Amino acid sequence: MTVLFTQPWAEAWGDALNRSEDYQRAARLWEGDVVLEALADPARGLSDTVAVYLDLHRGQCRAARVATAEDLAGATYLMSGPLATWLTVLDGELSPAMAILGGRLTLRNGSMMSLMPHVQAANELVRVARTVNAGAPGAT
């Protein structure tokens, strides 16, 4: 099982995005990079804050990896929040936009206004993430 927010998981997600016709259609106008950051949660097996970087360009994922400090500072969109919230989003129980609007995730880079035209693409991004064999951080 691939562990969430790790290099193998990010790479598998990027590959899955590039194979998804639904994502490619939904994201055909989306350009920019995205960082998803899960805050440390030792009770859930996540001892350190972790983040994944995706370079997204018109329906293609050009890079998917563990985020660097430069990625965190320069990403078009940086969404940050507790691991529990990310698990809810990745399980499909909560959309990324609703998580941000409800204050469960914080949009640290970018604005909600600039993200709104891409809500369908963001939902597809998450739907594709659910197809990647993954467990919570700390899982074996």
Q: d(Cα 96, Cα 117) in Å, to the nearest integer?
A: 13
What is the extent of the structural domain holding 61? Answer: 2-131
Residue 129 host element (H or E): helix 119-129
Task: Give tens-digit pLDDT for 4-47.
Answer: 999 999 999 999 999 999 999 999 999 999 999 999 999 888 89
In a domain, 36, yes or no: yes
Residue 135 pLDDT > 90? no
Whether the per-residue pLDDT at 53 is higher than 90: the answer is yes
* Lowest mean pLDDT across 60-74, 102-116, 124-138: 124-138
CATH number of domain containing 103? 3.30.1050.10
Q: Which helix (H) or strand (E) holds 51?
A: strand 50-57
pLDDT for 121: 95
26 neighbors 67 (Cβ within 8 angstroms): no
Mean pLDDT of 108-118: 92
Residue 19 lies in a domain: yes
Counted domains in the chain: 1
Distance between CA atoms of residues 140 and 137, nearest Å: 9
Confidence of residue 2 (pLDDT cuts 50, 70, 90): low
| 66 occurs within a structural domain | yes
Residue 140 binned pLDDT confidence (cut-offs 50, 70, 90): very low
In a domain, 137, yes or no: no
Residue 98's pLDDT band, with cuts at 50, 70 and 90, is very high
DSSP states along 79-96: EEEEHHHHHHHHTTSS-H
